[in-house]
Amino acid sequence: MMDKKINGTKKEYVWMVVLSVIALFPNIFFLFYGNKALLAALFLFALSCLFYLLPCLFLRKRVFFIIQGIFVLLAPLEAAHIYLNRMPATAAFLLSIIDTNQEESFELLSAIKFPLVILFLFWAFYFFIVFVRIKNTCLFKSNLTKWIGVPVFVGMIITGYATGYNKEIYPYSLMFRTYQVFAAKKEIKAGREKMKNFRFNAVKKDTVYEKEVYVFVIGETGRYSSYSINGYRRNTSPMLEKTENLVSYTDFHSEANITTSSLPVILTRASALDYERSYVEKSFVDAFKEAGFKTYWIAYQSANNQFIRRISGDADKEYFRVPHFSDTANFDEQLWPYLDDVLAGNDRKALIVIHTLGSHFRYNYRYPASFEVFSPSLKGAFDYALISAKNKEMFVNTYDNSILYTDFFLAGTIRKIDSLQAVSTLVYVADHGENLFDTEANIVFHGGSEYTPYDFHVPFFVWTSDKYNIRYPSKVENLNRNKDKKLSTHYIFYSMLDMAGITFPEQISDRSIVSETLREDSIRYILNTNMEVQKGF
């Protein structure tokens, strides 16, 4: 009987080890695949194990593993981020998940059906063992052991905070980042109340009797270096290169490498150094409206983004085309009917913001078959198992095809505006860049902690109509003179207003691209994916 009890206890210990390995999988994965040096990775893993085990001092075994099971359910999220970015999940990553529409989420899930089945079986196995093989008894019954554990626990917290590793130990890192996300959401909500009575006191400082139309296009995942107009070896922007009155800025950078962080800097007076301003101030769209312009928001994404919906909701009219991400026909030209409706109106002064899908991954779903120029590509159905440096050629070819289509969309949009014979401009900027296995680290996509210049160096195009050139010759002269200056997205707010001849009491002329006093950035700053300020490129 005693032998049977001992054997039963041994089996239970074996099962506890198995469950612990499952629960610690993200930590084990990070040890071998993360971005830490070996000694740092080992120290972090040892700290992770201690953090994991200490609750055993105070909880019954089954309760302990049930609680850990919550984090087992979330482990794939952490493991996926480590796989793509070689680092624990970041605040920006979690925020982007919350703001992502369901269709985009289902796109990813549909592409990984088989791994999901394995994952569900894995979860079922974990909880089956917890409820069937683990007794609901205490592992440590001695109070002395518990009292010894308390100072150890406190010492670990101090060590974790002193080294900064507390933010990298799963699941505590995930809990900390989740808190950051909801704190940011709370600030946005509180800011919405504060800005109800906010005004720029913006006015149109000159009288223009002709029709005025200003268009601002937000691109998605655009690399400066992938446009032939910017010197790329492939002919990826033939139509823009033939477009008259178009200026391409050579050294323009986004201040974040993920959409949810970059858009507030693009649309408001916020910057990487002063990001909180975006929570309490309105956007240049609101300033245009104050100055007497009709404002329109036409979008193919961010329908679930609270920040964007606040701005679009205050515009005179908003059009959201919600994409079905499993559909292979999500093309930006499908926004043109909404644009045509606006342009056909009788507005004397209008601002139109167009938020495109651009080169949003999956690249092969962002352009029709007629733009399948560079091959071999990721044509047709896409398997996420293809994400590998050995498939770099296919990734680059597919991405370049999407840029070729963006060229077509922008040139076509310019033609529509130009046909109005109005005082008009079009400004295009990508929210962030993209990595395509460009470096020895084989980084791909964007939004990771190991970022490169490809994350931030974005295309920035400005087109002006003939009537605009006649009406504002000095602005056009300055626009061309400033095209090689070192600039960032926090210049956009002031530039958009100045281009339209709008002023407000706090206007800063040396941050406008059409000003002769434009002062370039001496140091560029960026927001990393944990919303921390760092020096950029």
User: For the chain, which residues make up each domain, given as ranges?
Assistant: 2-186, 213-535
Burial class of residue 19 in the structure, from the number of CB atoms within 10 Å of its CB (0-12 exposed, 13-18 middle, 19+ buried):
buried
Distance (Å) of CA 466 to CA 121, 473, 495, 527: 64, 10, 19, 38
Q: Is the dihedral of CA 262, 265, 267, 268 positive or negative?
A: positive
Give buried/exposed letters for 375-413 (b at 16+ CB in 10 A, else e). eebbeeebeeeeeeeebeebbbbbbbbbbbbbbbbbbeb
C-alpha closest to that of 210 among 416, 473, 422: 422
Residue 8: predicted pLDDT: 52
3-state DSSP assignment of residue 461 = strand
d(CA 392, CA 436): 7
Task: Report residue 316 as tokens.
Answer: 């005179």
Report DSSP state, residue 206: S
Report DSSP state, residue 537: -
Distance (Å) of CA 532 to CA 156, 270, 326, 496: 24, 14, 34, 27
- Predicted TM-score of the model (pTM): 0.82
Beta bridge partners of 354: 217, 298
C-alpha closest to that of 434 among 219, 217, 222, 218: 222
Q: How many CA atoms lie within 13 A of 401 on its CB side?
A: 26
* CB contact set of 174 (below 8 Å; sequence gap of 6+): 71, 74, 77, 78, 88, 89, 94
Residue 146: predicted pLDDT: 63
Other residues' Cβ atoms within 10 Å of the Cβ of residue 35 = 16
Residues of the chain with pLDDT under 70: 1-8, 84-85, 92, 96-116, 141-149, 153-154, 156-157, 159-167, 324-328, 381-385
Fold of 213-535: Alkaline Phosphatase, subunit A (3.40.720)
d(CA 411, CA 223): 18
The amino acid at 52: Y
3-state DSSP assignment of residue 375 = coil
Q: Is the dihedral of CA 158, 163, 164, 165 positive or negative?
A: negative
Of all helices (H) and strands (E), which one includes residue 17?
helix 2-23
Alpha helices in 333-441 (DSSP H): 336-343, 392-418
Backbone angles phi, psi at 250, to 5 degrees: -90, -20
Other residues' Cβ atoms within 10 Å of the Cβ of residue 158 = 11
Residue 384: predicted pLDDT: 66
Beta bridge partners of 297: 318, 353
Report DSSP state, residue 435: E
The amino acid at 181: V
Task: Report whether 281 contacts 119 (CB < 8 A).
Answer: no
Q: What angle in degrees, to the nearest 10, is found between the helix axes of 25-33 and 38-53? A: 170
